Amino acid sequence: MARLDAHVQVVSYFVVAPSGSITVEQQAALAAGLGVHPSDIPVERGYQSPLRAWLFVAFLSVALLTLLATSTTTALSMGEARRDLATLAAVGAPAGVRRRLAAAQAGMLALIGTVLGLVVGSVPGALWAWAVTHRPAYSSSQVGPGFVVVPWLLFAAALVLVPLLAAALSALFVKGRPDLTRRLA
């Protein structure tokens, strides 16, 4: 090296923790020991999607809208069935029939709405994802098919949680006994 008039300098270190990836505290301690800022030490902690928070917010928004539409429709349906429910109460139906009926209506309506919403929303989403990831033959990059990653866990959560929550809320807020009115005839 002296003949070349060059000097050797350490440019990077490769550190492997026995337990896997190092923690944030270990990263800070290593940075303090080297006298650098922790952001100067890149740490690979596996892939972390930047869209995870946005997907969660979108899921909550859509679930809230679905619950709102379901509760409105269930309330209107129960209003229209008031006379039928009063007849059921008059002939001795238990008080929980109204609640079970409202829960069944809300749960089924939310399930149908969630399935239709997922199907209708998935088509443009899949087409967009394919268009963004597809590399056509005239592209300078390698030709390859597009790909679509379906958030199955989010879909399953929507299909299970939204109808169950709609049914539970409807059963909770519907009165058990109707206001009996005077029947003519």
Q: Taking 70 as the threshold, does the pLDDT of residue 183 lie above it?
A: no
Region 129-135 average pLDDT:
77
pLDDT tens-digit readout, 73-93: 988 988 888 888 888 888 888
Q: Which domain holds residue 139?
A: 52-173
162: three-class secondary structure by DSSP: helix
* Residue 38 DSSP class: G
Q: Are residues 118 and 160 in the same domain?
A: yes
Q: Are residues 60 and 150 in the same domain?
A: yes
Q: Is residue 33 part of a domain?
A: yes
Cα–Cα distance between 89 and 98 in angstroms, integer?
A: 9
Closest CA to 28 of 20, 45, 40: 40
Percent of the chain with pLDDT over 90: 23
Q: Are residues 13 and 61 in the same domain?
A: no
Q: Are residues 9 and 73 in the same domain?
A: no
Task: Classify 51 in phi/psi space as left (phi over 0), alpha (psi -120 to 50) or beta.
Answer: alpha
Cα–Cα distance between 18 and 32 in angstroms, integer?
A: 20
Q: Taking 70 as the threshold, does the pLDDT of residue 102 lie above it?
A: yes
Task: Classify 147 in phi/psi space as left (phi over 0), alpha (psi -120 to 50) or beta.
Answer: beta
pLDDT tens-digit readout, 33-62: 888 888 888 887 776 777 888 888 988 998
